[in-house]
A = this chain, B = another copy of it.
Amino acid sequence: MKISALLTSAGINIGLCVLFLSLYSVLRKQPANVRVYFGRRIAEEHDRLRGAFILERFVPSTGWIVKALQCTEEEILAAAGLDAVAFNRILVFSIRIFTLAALLCVFGILPLNYFGQDIHHVRIPSESLDIFTIGNVEVKSRWLWVHCVTLYIISGVACILLYIEYKHIARLRLLHLTSATPKPSHFTVLVRGIPKADKESCSDVVDGFFTKYHSSSYLFHQVVYKAGKVQKIMTGAKKAYKKFKHFTDETVDQGCRTITYRCCLCGASSNSFKLLNTECEQNRGKADNKSILDLDDEECTAAFVFFKTRYAALVASEILQTSNPMKWVANLAPEPEDVYWSNLWLPYKQLWARRIATLLGSICFMFIFLIPVTFIQGLSQLEQLQQRLPFLRGILKKKYYMTQLVTGYLPSVILQIFLYTVAPIMMLFSTLEGPTSHSERKRSACCKVLIFTVWNIFFANVLSGTVISQLNVLSSPRTYLSSLLKLYLDRKYVLRMREDTEFVPSFPYHTEVPKVLLFGLLGFTLSVLAPLILPFLLVYFCLGYVVYRNQLLNVYRTRYDTGGLYWPIACSTVIFSLVLTQIICLGVFGLKESPVAAGFTIPLIILTLLFNQYCRNRLLPLFKTFPAQDLIDMDREDERSGRIDEIHHGLHSAYCQFPDTVDVPLEKIEIVGGDEEQGSTSGESSGKETCEDPKKDLSHPTLKGLPVNRLRHAVRSVTFLIRLQKRGLSEQKIG
């Protein structure tokens, strides 16, 4: 690989970048794309540009770049949440450290490497890239201390910057906790592993336990039901309604009475089907009828338990409840919109097995993925490429630049195609693992993708090459870099276009965080050894900074947030990168027979690890739990301001297991139920259910049982009526 090839590759990539940036500038102004590029804002703004033809629309502009750069951290925090800020800080950190590294290495290390051996230098464009790496420095060179000192400076500054950022995000996290409007999740604990009782219903068991052991702070609870069955019925009902809503109200409006089914699914206390979708109110009292609770035993595996104070919820979530650690497992609940309902009913005792199974699966996947990587590794060597793809032989022999293009570009494109499969597969693994929230799922996928990427792209690529090509691989990772420079941009376009324009996705942290961190890893490992990479990397980070900020502000919607939990991942990865760099340098210094440089690197490794341990002790706990002091202060403040009752009231409707039904105006269904339904169930328990005693203890409203069979019944009758309507029989009947 020569300088000219690198420059060709860089030229192509820069050209593509400019092209795509211009395209973006134009496309974003087209009315048809407004949902794509301003998904997040679409709810607030009107599509005022639609229709009108304005020439300005087709002229590339830079205003959006200025806007993206100008927005403050507070704006990002408000628009896209703490995760976006954490991601932004990762980019800021990268830009800062690599600016320093680029300055030090390009002006300090690069000349040393270039003039490292007393050889005749040809024109720079024809020079091999190896001339610019540490490989060109003479063995036992007395200039290696410069490399060592540079390594010290980079590591030291990186640690200082990391610490500042870590502290900053920890502070933001606390601010986020304390300054935000009261969140229901702070008062709520998700309890899993509820033991079965033969005589009592699940709800009674939960109530009994918390009334007994947390009596002073326990408020009420809400049982989570096995999603499979109920969800199926609800979906059925939804479909039925959709079919039905095409009929006008008048045709069925006459003489129909409301269905008197009570919805216990999400705590609706209503005596009609209607309230299910309007609001998830609490169940005002306990159903006395035990006979309909038969389904409980197998279906109740989790419950949301609400507490009077945040502190009480925190305490309940931190302590070991009983002498069986697999029973009554309590954790702070995720935000209502963050809950991953379909995983909640998974038996807790399954989870550890699932976790191990997915771990094994991920490891297997990593090793299977070595096959395409090895293949690509071969491709980057021209001879092997010609052997494997013989049709290229003719082209490659003719044109020199074509050769450069193919070796510099083709492997990375193929690798990219394979890499596109990684994120979905890791997301699948994370789903199977059984997380209870969307954010946890995405974070878990992020870790998996990160480990996968580092292992496969970095290690496996190095390990699968021969020892000789090893340094070559190390010095030419710009294949991934340059391709990504383009791909992360056009991905936004190409893929976005195809997607449902009504659906505003949330930011794919699980693919973008590992990508940025991988470039950080490459940057660190190559900084001292092959500093020529650093300017390119810096361009990437700067470009990424602008584009990601724009995307976070305009394109993606933040539906859930981990509260900055991506930062500890980033910090660990950076420290891993630093230590890896130091170990590689130690090896290289050893090979160059410089005992002084090698000897001085060892304390640096120990110091970096010490710094890591310090961060883990000093700041990591803040990302794992909430400090009691702040929670107590918030509780007292709410108590003082009298807001606490309002908050408690809001908790009743906070967690709704089947929010899908909200967009179905089921009032319409009410109209249909009719005599038939009334007759078929009134003998059973309708009397008991409609007689709600309003005087019953409000502080412990519980959801008693799940009348699935009744709901099923209702759905059946609705669909039956629909069929009647379709056959044109209804008029005759009603008439």
Contacts and interface: CB of A to CB of B under 8 A. Distances in A.
Interface of A: 170, 174, 213, 314-315, 318-326, 352-353, 356, 360, 606, 609-610, 613-614, 617-622, 625-630, 632
A252 to B, nearest CB: 55
A119 to B, nearest CB: 42
A360 B622 contact: no
A610 B323 contact: no
B360 A320 contact: no
Nearest to A325: B621
Contact of A323 (B213, B606, B622): B622
Contacts of A322: 627-630
A270 to B, nearest CB: 36
B625 A320 contact: yes
Contacts of A632: 213
A315 B320 contact: no
A353 B610 contact: yes
B626 A320 contact: yes
Nearest to A626: B320
B319 A625 contact: yes
Given A323-B627, A628-B321, A629-B322, A352 B617 contact: yes
Q: Within the oligomer, what is the number of copies of this chain?
A: 2
A345 B78 CA distance: 45
Contact of A319 (B174, B318, B609): B318
B630 A323 contact: yes
Contacts of A323: 170, 174, 622, 627, 629-630
A49 to B, nearest CB: 47
A664 B177 CA distance: 55
A356 B613 contact: yes
A626 B174 CA distance: 29
B627 A352 contact: no
B628 A213 contact: yes
Given A318-B318, A318-B319, A356-B610, A325 B617 contact: yes
A174 B315 CA distance: 21
A283 to B, nearest CB: 27
19 contacts: A170-B323, A213-B629, A314-B319, A315-B319, A318-B319, A320-B621, A320-B628, A321-B628, A321-B629, A322-B627, A322-B628, A322-B629, A323-B622, A323-B630, A324-B618, A325-B620, A325-B622, A356-B609, A360-B606
A617 B324 CA distance: 10
Contacts of A617: 325-326, 352
A315 B632 CA distance: 14
A170 B610 CA distance: 36
